[in-house]
A and B are shown apart, each in its own frame.
Chain A
Amino acid sequence: MIQNMMLRIALAQISTKLGDVPANLEKHLAYIRRARKAGARLVVFPELSLTGYALQDLASTVACRPVEDDPVFRPLLKASLVIDIAVGFVEEDVRNRFYISSAYLSRGEVVHVHRKVYLPTYGMFDEGRFFALGDRVQAFDTSFGRIGMLICEDFWHASPPYLLWLDGADLFLFMSSSPGRGLRTHPELDSARWVERVNRGYANLFTSFVVHTNKVGFEDGLNFWGGAMVFDPNGRQIAKGPNHEEALILAELDLNQLHRTRARLPLLRDERTALTQRELQRILAESSHTTNLR
Chain B
Amino acid sequence: MVNVPSLLEINTDLARKILTSFLREEITRTGMARGVVGLSGGVDSALACFLAVEALGPANVLAVRMPYKQSSPDSLRHAEQVIQATGVKSLTIDITPMVEPLFSQIPSIDARRKGNVMARERMIILYDQSAEFGALVIGTGNKTEIMLGYTTLYGDSACALNPLGDLYKTQVRQLSRAMGVPEAIVAKAPTADLWSGQTDEGELGFTYEDVDRLLYLLVDERYSPEECVQAGFKKAFVERVVEIVRRNQFKRVLPPIAKLSHRTVGYDFLYLRDWGT
Which A residues lie at the B interface, using CB under 8 A?
15, 17-20, 54, 56-58, 180, 183-189, 217-221, 223, 244
Q: Which of A20, A180, A184, A187 contacts B276 (CB 8 A)?
A: A20
Q: Are B18 and A220 touching (Cβ within 8 A)? A: no
Given contacts A19-B275, A20-B276, contact A57 B269 (CB under 8 A): yes
Q: Which of B10, B22, B25, B276 contacts A183 (CB 8 A)?
A: B10
Q: Are B10 and A185 touching (Cβ within 8 A)? A: yes
- CB neighbours (8 Å) of A20 from chain B are 276-277
Q: Are A56 and B11 touching (Cβ within 8 A)? A: no
B125 within 8 A of partner (CB): no
Given contacts A57-B270, A183-B14, contact A223 B22 (CB under 8 A): yes
Given contacts A18-B277, A218-B21, contact A57 B13 (CB under 8 A): no
Q: Are A184 and B11 touching (Cβ within 8 A)? A: yes
Q: Are A18 and B26 touching (Cβ within 8 A)? A: no
Report which residue of B7, B13, B17 has the largest number of chain A beta carbons within 10 angstroms of its beta carbon: B17
Q: How far is the CA of A123 from the CA of B20 in the complex (A)?
A: 25
Q: Are A185 and B276 touching (Cβ within 8 A)? A: no
Q: How far is the CA of A19 from the CA of B277 in the complex (A)?
A: 8
- CB neighbours (8 Å) of A186 from chain B are 11, 14
Q: How far is the CA of A235 from the CA of B173 in the complex (A)?
A: 40
B234 within 8 A of partner (CB): no
B74 within 8 A of partner (CB): no
Q: Are A217 and B25 touching (Cβ within 8 A)? A: yes
Q: A57-B268, A185-B9, A223-B22 are in contact. List 6 more A-B contacts (CB 8 A).
A: A18-B272, A57-B269, A57-B271, A183-B14, A185-B11, A186-B14
Q: Are B18 and A244 touching (Cβ within 8 A)? A: yes
16 contacting pairs across A/B (C-beta < 8 A): A18-B272, A18-B275, A18-B276, A19-B276, A57-B271, A58-B275, A183-B11, A183-B14, A183-B18, A187-B14, A218-B21, A219-B272, A220-B272, A221-B22, A223-B18, A244-B18
Given contacts A183-B15, A184-B11, A187-B14, contact A218 B22 (CB under 8 A): yes
Closest 3 CB pairs of A and B: A56-B270, A220-B272, A57-B270
Q: Are B274 and A220 touching (Cβ within 8 A)? A: yes
- CB neighbours (8 Å) of B273 from chain A are 220
Name B220's closest neighbour in chain A (CB-CB).
A182
Q: Which of B10, B21, B269, B277 contacts A223 (CB 8 A)?
A: B21
Q: Are A218 and B25 touching (Cβ within 8 A)? A: yes
Q: How far is the CA of A58 from the CA of B166 in the complex (A)?
A: 27
Classify chain B's interface size.
Answer: 20 to 34
Q: How far is the CA of A252 from the CA of B154 in the complex (A)?
A: 55
Per-position binary interface string of chain B over residues 94-107, scored 1 when its CB falls under 8 Å from any chain A CB and 0 otherwise: 00000000000000
- CB neighbours (8 Å) of A220 from chain B are 26, 272-274
Q: Looking at the assembled complex, report how far the CB atom of A19 sits from the nearest CB atom of chain B, in whole angstroms.
A: 5
- CB neighbours (8 Å) of B270 from chain A are 56-57
Given contacts A57-B269, A218-B26, contact A18 B11 (CB under 8 A): no
- CB neighbours (8 Å) of B7 from chain A are 184
Q: Are A17 and B14 touching (Cβ within 8 A)? A: no
- CB neighbours (8 Å) of B15 from chain A are 183
Name B167's closest neighbour in chain A (CB-CB).
A183
- CB neighbours (8 Å) of B275 from chain A are 18-19, 58
Q: Looking at the assembled complex, report how far the CB atom of B48 sits from the nearest CB atom of chain A, in whole angstroms.
A: 15
Name A189's closest neighbour in chain B (CB-CB).
B14
- CB neighbours (8 Å) of A58 from chain B are 271, 275
Q: Are A218 and B14 touching (Cβ within 8 A)? A: no
Report which residue of B14, B161, B269, B276 has the largest number of chain A beta carbons within 10 angstroms of its beta carbon: B14
- CB neighbours (8 Å) of B277 from chain A are 17-18, 20
Given contacts A183-B10, A185-B10, contact A219 B274 (CB under 8 A): yes
Q: How far is the CA of A186 from the CA of B25 in the complex (A)?
A: 24
Q: How far is the CA of A244 from the CA of B24 in the complex (A)?
A: 13
Q: How far is the CA of A199 from the CA of B195 in the complex (A)?
A: 57
- CB neighbours (8 Å) of A19 from chain B are 275-276
Q: Looking at the assembled complex, report how far the CB atom of B144 sits from the nearest CB atom of chain A, in whole angstroms.
A: 15
Q: Are A244 and B276 touching (Cβ within 8 A)? A: no
- CB neighbours (8 Å) of A223 from chain B are 18, 21-22
Q: Which of A54, A184, A217 contacts B272 (CB 8 A)?
A: A54
